[in-house]
Structure formats: structure tokens, C-alpha cells
Structure 1
């Protein structure tokens, strides 16, 4: 039995909610038990935003992740400051090193520094930084298949956004390539 409890966090507008929704929906497509719990700061765009995602082989008792996250995907410094301590020993922290210069202070977790914004600019679209981080996460911790995430993308964003699937597939792969 496996249970992954992931915190996705950043500023509103960085796609952290979308990242969580895609993970959740992909888990559902794979027949797993899932939960997604969003949390917004006072402002939507530009304010703090995070979501708690659970993907499990067994029923999820609570969507709340309180100090027992298996992973944190952090897109900005306030999120690293807030959620670094929430990851269990042996867990993973993925840091958007394009925006966060500080290093993770813990030595009991696996840390991955991903220059997501820099890679997104190389791809010509700054909006895919979240997908780069998601691709890195899935390489470090294969909770769901990348193909399931792409299928979830179609379901979550609808037919009008399907033209962005190739770009998002490339972003997921670029993120995965960062992880050794």
C-alpha cells in the first residue's frame, strides 16, 4: 500500500492549484483514492496559495495534511519557509530555484532544486513552470503516470485547451530531466 501526501504551494497565479488538480485527477483516472484540499490567501492572484493532495491505494480518511506530508513542491520563498517543516523525515522537497535562493535547512529529506521559471522561459511560455515542477516531482516520486497527467489536463481544462497538451508534455519532460 502506498500513500503520497503532497503540498503544492506558491503565489496565486503560479499554477499550484492546477498542479494539485492534475495530480488528483490523474490519480482518479488510475483508479486510486484521492483528495484535493485548496487553501487561498486573502488575494487570489499574487496572494499565497497552496493545496494538499493525497493519492493512495486505500481510502483517504482526511484531506488535511498536518505535519505528515511526504512531499512539498514549493514555488516561492514564503512557501518554503512555511512548509519545509511539514515534510516527514525521508520525504522530498522540490524547490523552484529560479525564485528561491535559500537552501533547504533540513538534512533528513531529499531535496531537488529545479529552475522551473528559467526552463519555462526557454520553452517560450512562463506559465508552464508549474508543469516543469510537476514533471520533476513525478520523476522523483512516480505517484501517477505522465500520460495520466496529460489525460487529466484534457479533462480539467477542457477541449479548448487541448492545443496546449504538446507544450505541457514537453514541460513535464524537461522537469523530469532535471532529476538525476
Structure 2
């Protein structure tokens, strides 16, 4: 099995970091992993995206034309990547920063008010983690126990930041998403 995901948004939204977390979680679960970042020279506000490929077997190339899933943090990224997602794939969109509906009907689309969720738990900067949590609920990229423990080996330079990140991520994923619909049939109810 091979899972391909694109994370896209503005610089400063944690797009590359979300991809890194998923890639490290894939490595920790014994999978083959490729993480390929792409970003402009701007520190914040420029475009940023990354591709993550997680597979049971060796990965031939990190380049992906039609990923099975995309985590979209802003409107320009939705405009760019909506047409590229494989039919039947998943599209997780930050509804806080996108002011239009997804046009394609052949995708599992979930609009997440990520900024509002992050603010409601006390830290707006964690909206990328909210989006990653939604992806992991919707797509079975990793086994359930790996999804819960994804933060345990996440590389963050400062120990206090690491401890804080783990606490927030567990809180988001266990409190916001346990009842979150995980299939297209459940979401249409």
C-alpha cells in the first residue's frame, strides 16, 4: 500500500511541519517514507507545500502527480491542487481561510474550521495540527495506535515546546475527532 498526501498553504501556517510529522510517524511505524518540501524565499506569507509518500515497499520517486489526499490551508492552494487529487481521494480544507465550496464531486471533502477549533482550545497556531488530525481520521494512512502516538517522537528543538505540542495534539485529536465521521456515508448523514 502507498499513501500520497500534499500539504499546501502559506508560509508560517505549519504546512511543512505537518508533513514532517506525518513522515516521522510513517518512519516510526516501519514504513518507507519520502518528504519533499517546496517553498518560496519569503519567510511568512509566501507559498509553501510538501508532498509526503508513505509506503510498505521502496518508494521510486517522491514526486506525485495525483495524490490520494490533500490538506489545504488557504484558497490559492485549493485553486491549485483541487484538480490534481485522484478521483475518490480526500480533500481536507481549512474552512477558516477558504471562502468557496469545492467544485469536484468525486472527492471525499471535509471542510474543517481549523482556526476556530485551534482558538477554542487555546492556541491558534495549532490549526495545522487540527488539519493533520482530520486527515488521520479520514484516511487510514497509519494504523490507529500510530495515529494516536504520532507526537511521541516528533522532533521539536525545545523540550518544553515538545511537551506542549504533544499535550495539545493529544487534546485536539482525542477531544475534537473521536466522533468525527470517517467515511463518506457517515459524513452525508
TM-score (norm 2): 0.88
- Displacement of 1:167 in angstroms is 1.2
Residues in 1 aligned to 2:18 and 2:3: alpha-carbon distance in whole angstroms: 15
| Contact kept? 1:12, 1:46, Cα under 8 Å | yes
Do the aligned partners of residues 97 and 178 (structure 1) sit closer, same or farther apart at CA in structure 2, a change above 3 Å counting?
farther
Structure 1: gaps spanning 5 or more residues: none
What do the CA deviations read for 1:57-108 (whole angstroms, capped 9, x no partner)?
1111101112x20001000000000010110001010000011121110011
Match of 1:76 in 2: 74
RMSD: 1.5
- Displacement of 1:44 in angstroms is 2.7
Name the structure where helix makes up a greater proportion of residues: 1
Counterpart of 1:132 (choices 130, 147, 151) is 130
Residues in 2 aligned to 1:12 and 1:143: alpha-carbon distance in whole angstroms: 25
Match of 2:22 in 1: 23
Greater shift in the superposed pair: 100-109 or 167-176: 167-176
Query: SS of the counterpart of 1:129?
Result: helix
Residues in 1 aligned to 2:157 and 2:55: alpha-carbon distance in whole angstroms: 24
Query: SS of the counterpart of 1:152?
Result: coil
Structure 2: gaps spanning 5 or more residues: 182-189
Residues in 1 aligned to 2:125 and 2:31: alpha-carbon distance in whole angstroms: 28
Residues in 1 aligned to 2:115 and 2:167: alpha-carbon distance in whole angstroms: 18
Residues in 1 aligned to 2:23 and 2:68: alpha-carbon distance in whole angstroms: 15
Residues in 1 aligned to 2:148 and 2:93: alpha-carbon distance in whole angstroms: 24
Confirm whether residue 159 of structure 1 aligns to residue 162 of structure 2: no
| Contact kept? 1:20, 1:52, Cα under 8 Å | yes
Query: SS of the counterpart of 2:152?
Result: helix
- Displacement of 1:151 in angstroms is 1.5
- Displacement of 1:178 in angstroms is 7.0
Query: SS of the counterpart of 1:23?
Result: helix
Match of 1:4 in 2: 3
Confirm whether residue 168 of structure 1 aligns to residue 169 of structure 2: yes
Do the aligned partners of residues 175 and 132 (structure 1) sit closer, same or farther apart at CA in structure 2, a change above 3 Å counting?
farther
